[in-house]
């Protein structure tokens, strides 16, 4: 029995190693790095920032009645959708490419308002596809034929630029299998470290747990990491976990990526359609893809979330709350989606700039990146403002060393010990909860596997 327990602990430790790291008290999401990141000296943001900034500036200048969004083309140049020839000339004079379209941003927004006012159907989502000048409505396999027919009728009344699509799997939040932070609300990945000037917090997904959720940072549940002090879900999908110590500590600006390495976060920004991005999560590791839509709406079973970033980056249960970034620039935290990292899928993210503005917090970055002295500590806070990056040139960001106890193999599985909280997975994992609290360690690997199997099934 003793040997069996040791095998379980060793296996759980390996799982936790890909789940997340506690860097000197700073919780960051870890991922399996696909390739070596370039040194800081080799990383540039100038051309990429110009591409995203030019498109956004032109849209702002011309207005929503004459434009319908912008994106980064395959060649890295900004493209702006416009509704008249004069606007197209303005775009070309600014050095960007123009695409004349039939429907303005005002029309696209009006269509989404109509969709939102229709009876809510769980398992549906819609986004503005700037590149095709359409609203794309998706329905997963849980949507009935009657609901599909009713939504199709609503779309037909709006116009032919609303496209209806059926998709495989289910649109769900990703609340399972992540080792970094765990409470009775479920398992999640940590996102980014932020500060309000007085205390430091983990910014993660709102569906991970309600206010009052207790999070732990050790597999015995003896080391309390912090408590959720603010949560917004549905509507939005972000929350703040306040560190018990009040400070994130050294390494607060680094996302661990395995092998003692990490990606240094240098700022925050809003993404651009067509931008190449990276997502890390404690279940599936590091993956990349492109931003395919903005201002997306998803009707999860628990409620509707709006204003999301849509991507074709894969994700799996347990990646909830994990960071979305590119070139070391923070973009969002994982909300939900469908599919997996074997077959692919659609993943939605809560924009970090919107979350920080609502919560009145600032991203923690190194003193060097914040304009202070050299070195990674003490961490400083930085507002949003980094530019978008071109899909052909993007990388996760500059390499940074990972330090701290967790870098030496300390696990980050936490116990479901806060019985005051009631989360979506509480009833399902009640048996495991009793065993964990009663014995103070994981007694049977099959409980963990059963937990994962359940949520993998709900993910589809």
User: Is the CB of residue 173 less than 8 Å from the CB of residue 339?
Assistant: no
Catalytic residue among 200, 237, 288, 418: 237
Q: How far apart are CA 178 and CA 208, in angstroms?
A: 11
Is-catalytic flag, 3? Answer: no
Catalytic residue among 207, 253, 381, 395: 207
Which residues make Cβ contacts (< 8 Å) with residue 58, sequence separation at least 6?
A: 67, 70, 78, 80, 90, 91, 94, 96
Question: SS3 helix, strand, coil % of the chain, rounded to 5?
Answer: 25, 35, 45
Which residues make Cβ contacts (< 8 Å) with residue 262, sequence separation at least 6?
A: 21, 23, 28, 251, 254, 255, 256, 399, 400, 401, 402
Is-catalytic flag, 146? Answer: no
Neighbours of 96 (CB within 10 A): 19
User: Is the CB of residue 25 less than 8 Å from the CB of residue 248?
Assistant: yes
Q: Are strands 172-173 and 214-216 parallel, antiparallel or unpaired?
A: unpaired
SS3 category, 51: helix
SS3 category, 340: strand
Note every long-range contact of 89-96, with CB atoms under 8 Å and residues 24 or more positions apart, other chains counting.
90/58, 90/61, 90/62, 91/58, 91/62, 94/54, 94/57, 94/58, 95/54, 96/54, 96/55, 96/58, 96/70
Describe the crossing of helices 85-93 and 46-62 by its angle, rounded to 10 degrees. Answer: 150
Q: How far apart are CA 175 and CA 316, in angstroms?
A: 9
345 CB-side CA count, 13 A = 23
SS3 category, 231: strand
Catalytic residue among 231, 296, 320, 395: 320
Print burial letters for 325-337: b (CB count within 10 Å at least 16), e (below 16).
bbbbbbbbbbbbb
Is-catalytic flag, 207? Answer: yes
User: Is the CB of residue 127 less than 8 Å from the CB of residue 101?
Assistant: no
Active site residues: 207, 237, 320
């Amino acid at each position: 029995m003793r040997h069996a327990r040791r095998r379980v602990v060793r296996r759980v430790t390996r799982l936790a190693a890909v789940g997340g790291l506690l860097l000197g008290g700073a919780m960051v999401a870890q991922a399996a790095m696909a390739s070596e990141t370039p040194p800081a000296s080799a990383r540039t943001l100038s051309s990429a920032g110009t591409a995203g900034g030019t498109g956004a500036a032109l849209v702002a200048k011309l207005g929503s009645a004459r434009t319908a969004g912008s994106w980064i083309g395959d060649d890295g140049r900004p493209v702006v959708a416009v509704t008249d020839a004069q606007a197209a000339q303005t775009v070309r004079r600014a050095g960007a490419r123009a695409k004349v379209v039939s429907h303005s941003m005002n029309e696209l927004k009006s269509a989404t308002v109509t969709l939102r006012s229709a009876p809510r159907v769980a398992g549906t989502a819609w986004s503005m596809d700037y590149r095709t000048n359409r609203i794309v409505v998706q329905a997963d396999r849980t949507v009935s034929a009657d609901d599909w027919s009713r939504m199709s009728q609503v779309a037909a009344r709006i116009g032919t630029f609303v496209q209806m699509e059926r998709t495989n799997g289910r649109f769900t939040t990703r609340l399972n299998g992540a080792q970094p932070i765990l409470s009775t609300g479920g398992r999640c990945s940590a996102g980014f470290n932020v500060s309000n000037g007085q205390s430091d917090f983990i910014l993660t997904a709102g569906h991970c747990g309600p206010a009052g959720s207790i999070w732990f940072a050790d597999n015995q549940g003896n080391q309390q990491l912090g408590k959720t002090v603010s949560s917004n879900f549905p509507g939005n999908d972000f929350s703040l976990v306040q560190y018990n110590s009040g400070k994130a500590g050294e390494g607060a600006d680094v996302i661990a990526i395995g092998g003692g390495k990490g990606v240094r976060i240098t700022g925050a920004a809003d993404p651009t359609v067509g931008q190449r991005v990276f997502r890390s999560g404690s279940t599936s590791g590091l993956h990349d893809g492109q931003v395919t839509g903005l201002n997306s709406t998803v009707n999860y079973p628990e409620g509707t979330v709006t204003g999301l970033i849509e991507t074709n980056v894969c994700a799996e249960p347990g990646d909830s709350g994990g960071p979305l970034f590119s070139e070391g620039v923070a973009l969002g935290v994982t909300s939900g989606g469908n599919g997996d990292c074997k077959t692919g899928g659609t993943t939605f993210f809560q924009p970090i700039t919107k979350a920080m503005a609502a919560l009145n917090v600032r991203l923690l970055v190194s003193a060097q990146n914040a304009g202070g002295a050299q070195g990674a500590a003490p961490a400083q806070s930085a507002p949003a403002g980094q530019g978008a990056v071109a899909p052909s040139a993007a990388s996760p960001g500059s390499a940074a060393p990972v330090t701290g106890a967790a870098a030496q193999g300390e696990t980050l599985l936490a116990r479901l010990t806060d019985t005051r909280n009631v989360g979506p997975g509480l009833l399902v994992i009640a048996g495991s909860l009793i065993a964990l609290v009663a014995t103070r360690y994981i007694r049977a690997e099959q409980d963990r596997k059963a937990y994962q199997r359940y949520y993998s099934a709900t993910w589809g």
